[in-house]
Every structure is written in structure tokens, then in C-alpha cells.
Amino acid sequence: MRIAVVALGKIGLPLAVQFADSGHEVVGIDVNERTVQQINAGLEPFPGEQHLQEKLASAVTDGRLRATTDYADGVPGADAVVLVVPLFVDDASWEPDFGWMDAATRSLAEHLTPNTLVSYETTLPVGTTRTRWKPMLEEISGLTEGEDFHLVFSPERVLTGRVFADLRRYPKLIGGLSAAGTERARAFYEAVLQFDERPDLARANGVWDLGTAEAAEMAKLAETTYRDVNIGLANQFAVYADSVGVDVYQVIEACNSQPYSHIHRPGIAVGGHCIPVYPRLYLSTDGDAEIVRTARKFNASMPDRLVQRAASTLGGLEGMNAVVLGAAYRGGVKETAFSGVFATVAALESAGATVRVHDPLYGDDELSSLGFTPFSLGDSVDVAIIQTDHSDYSTLTASDLPGIKLLVDGRNISTADGWRGTPRIVLGKGQSTD
């Protein structure tokens, strides 16, 4: 097959490489000229994705993959077009911002040719494929969905850093607007993906038809919103455990020892491209989902809650030197999308502290470009907040932070031995420890 992949980001590029690795001709389309140049040179533009560099270099060398900024070069004549263009959410209104996706869809529609399968993999509010993309594609292209081309929704379900493994492990969900479109999608994904055996599943791993585009859209939102709500519940438990002197991690371990409890871990922040965003996409079409709204707001409040706790412990933070340990949204991943670092820094500054940021994955110039003042271990500091669960921070001791008066561990990664004699607050541990 000849396949076009629109948007060669941290999901789109591995997808394009996967398709090429399965023996197909792939053209990747991206608006970033530098990204296109790097891909055509066989160089991954964002290191950190397992096996991407070697697979990319092989696909480019063998002529199975190339990149372009021109839709007219990639879309006409394609058997399938897969879109993984980012969808943003307005921070104030929580409404989706379709700007980039609308632009990509218009450009695709201008060059769409008959007999093409169009698959959206970007997570969408329920109903978007049918009510937004179908009319736009038909109006601009002059083609009729279900007759001249087929449109489906098939959500990406992978985690950056392990995309290729996740593509094999998880069923590929599809939802079409017609039976014919669904069958086209099934045949396409069975030709470009390979699946691990999963005896734990109720049915064979592979391509799963959910019946409609709306069901596939909701499945992606539901599985991610579940995680946000679950973390919100864990955070609620942690805050209460702190107030009554209980170790919430022992409680969670005990609860999860039976098969009906799956409580997640609490933490200072929920970051990344997915979990903070998709509940808001769900809420954009289900405004009555108060459980979802409450959990999202509670999780967003955690940085401020821990900063307030630090201020209470020290009698205020005015004039103090503070460091936030970790810019990345999760340990071992060089990515700051919706990272708790931003809210934590803002809360500390609002409390009157002078704030610097440290992260073992980022150089000083990179931290400065993010708007932070870099911090080096060994510099003096009054208060430190662990925001990211980098493995480096598990061995951190008070000697690494001369003059420290308080450590706030928002990830339960520090050990008591390294902080004897220094006040330490661990979220959900029930008390400050010396």
C-alpha cells in the first residue's frame, strides 16, 4: 500500500516507521521543515523512543519512507491517510481548540482522491469524526464519504518511549461511519500492525471493531479519563491520610491485594499530553460529568496544596530560596507537556519564594528556554520540592542541598535514611519526618 501519515511527532513518526517496517510505501507530511529534513536524512528528530532510530534509518535507506511538507506530494493516490495532528484544549474554557486539526483536514481534503481510507488517530470529543471531519472533507474534496472515500476513527493507545511495544500489545480499536469503511480499516490495520498473544483478553488480540466512530472516540476518552479520576481519588485519600496520620501507600497496597481494587498512586501533579487533556475533551460533550470535573480540578490543585503545606511547616516562604526537582512530567522522559513544574513554580513564586529548577535530563540552556532559572545540586537552598520521579532523586540526600530546611516529596521517591535530621514531608505519608 501507499500510505500518508500527517504530523510526524512523537506518535506520528513511529507510526509511519511501523507502517514502512511492515513493507509499505510511506510518505510523512509535517509542517516543520527541519523535522522533514532530519527524517529524510534518517535521523530521529526527538531522541528517546525505543528502536526508532534504527528502524527510521533502515526505512529511509531502503526507500520505504520519506517526508515532505507538501500535502500535494503525499495525499493524492494514497490508499490510506492517517492523521495524528495535535488537538489542544483552552486552559480557561476547557473547550477543544481545533485550529491545527482543521488546517490539516482542509489541506488533506484539497488533495483527497477517490478510494482513499482516512483514519483519524488523534483523540477527539465524541461525535467529531461524523459531525466535523466528514462534512469538511466532503465539502472541500467534492467526494462523498462511504462511496468515494471512507472515514474512520482509530485512537492511538501508546505511550511515548515504548510506542512499538505498545502497538503490539494493545488491541487496535476502530470505528467507522459505514460497514464498508470499517472493513477497509480492518484490512488496513491488519496489514500494518502485528499483535502479541494476549491470553488475558476476552477475545483475540488484534483489530477490534467497536461498531461506530462514536464508540471508538468514547473508548479512548474513557480509558484515559478513568486514570485521571482514579489518580484524583488516590490524591483525595493521600490528603486525608496526611490529616489523620496514616500511610496511604500501605492502605493502597492492602486494598489492591484483592482483585476488585485498582487504586492508582497519588502525586503532586498529573502531566503529559493525555491524562490532563482528555478528561476535558470528554467534558466538552458531557457537561454533566461532575465526577470527571471534580477529579480534574482536584488533581490540578495538588501543586498548590503541597506548596501551602510547605509554607505552613516553615511559617511562610517569603524570601526563601526554593528548588523544584524535576521539569519533566514523569520520570525518565524528557517531556514537559502539562508538567506539574509550571504550577509548582508559580505557586512558590506566589508565596514569595525565589525559585530555581533542576532536572537531570535538561541542560541549563534548555531549562532557561522553558522560562526557568537553572539549579545545580550542591547550591544552597531553603526548601526543595520533588516534582518528578526521576530515579536520580531516589538517592538524593540533604548533603546535595546545603542549608535545606525542608524537603517536600510529591512522588514518594526519597528515603528516610538520606534525610535524617532534616524535616521531610512525603505526600500521603501522614506526617513530617526527621
Taking 3-state DSSP, the helix, strand and coil percentages for the chain, each rounded to the nearest 5, stand at: 40, 15, 45
Q: Which of 220, 255, 334, 405 is catalytic?
A: 220
Taking the alpha carbons at both ends of the chain, their separation in whole angstroms is 64
Task: Say whether 429 is catalytic.
Answer: no
Residue 238: name the closest of 225, 249, 227, 229 by CA.
Answer: 249
Chain centroid to CA 113: 33
User: Which distant-in-sequence residues (6+ apart) come within 8 Å of 393 by Cβ?
Assistant: 325, 326, 386, 411, 413, 414
Report the amino acid identity of residue 340. G
242 Cα distance to chain centroid: 29
Q: Please spell the DSSP secondary structure of 116-164, one letter per residue.
A: EEEEE-S---TTHIIIIIHHHHHHHH---BTTTEEEEE------TT-HH
- Could you tell me if residue 324 is left (phi over 0), alpha (psi between -120 and 50 degrees) or otherwise beta? beta
Please choose, from the candidates 153, 140, 152, 85, the residue with its C-alpha nearest in 3D space to the C-alpha of residue 113: 140
Is 274 designated active site?
A: yes
Give CA–CA dist 371/374, Å, rounded.
Answer: 9
Out of 55, 134, 172, 274, pick the active-site residue.
Answer: 274
Active site residues: 220, 274
